[in-house]
Structure 1
Amino acid sequence: MKWWKVLGVAGFVGVAATGAVIARSERRRRTYTPDEIRTRLHTRITEAHESTPATTRS
């Protein structure tokens, strides 16, 4: 009976830790302003276009 309690507590701690990690990343994501998000997106698109080889059409 004791092992079931330990297993239950370990499962609860795992779920709580996962929730804390998700909440932290969500807070970090929400701190960006729309202009910052737009700038970061444009930068990523530019980097993606520069890193892919250009293809020519026949």
Structure 2
Amino acid sequence: MRAWKWLGLAGILAGVATGAAVARDERVRRHYEPSEIRERLHRRHDEAVAREAGADGPPVAPGS
């Protein structure tokens, strides 16, 4: 019976540690300014379009 108590305690501690890590990541994520997020998304989009254009030929304009 004593082993089950230790196993339960280990599970609880693992849950607490996971929650602390998620909270820390959330604080870091919320630190970004909206303009920073927008700029990063635009940069990632441009890189994806450039990769796609290099693989398939010239890019096609949206709506064409």
User: Which TM class, normalised by the smaller chain length?
Assistant: 0.7 to 0.9
Query: Which amino acid in 2 is paired with 1:50?
Result: A
TM-score normalized by structure 1?
0.87
1:50 matched to 2:54: no
Aligned residues with identical type, % of pairs: 49
User: How far apart are residue 54 of structure 1 and its match?
Assistant: 3.1
Larger RCO of the pair (alpha carbons < 8 Å, separation 6+): 2
Structure 1: 5+ residue stretches without partners? none
Query: Which amino acid in 2 is paired with 1:51?
Result: R
State the distance in 1 between where 2:56 and 2:46 align.
13
Q: How does 1:15-30 map to 2 (within 5 A)?
A: 15-30=15-30
Question: Match for residue 10 of structure 1?
Answer: 10
Structure 2: 5+ residue stretches without partners? none
Kindly report the root-mean-square deviation, in angstroms, between the aligned alpha carbons of the 2 structures: 1.7
Runs of 4+ in 1 over 6 A off after TM superposition: none
Query: Which amino acid in 2 is paired with 1:42?
Result: H
TM-score normalized by structure 2?
0.79
Query: Which amino acid in 1 is paired with 2:56?
Result: A
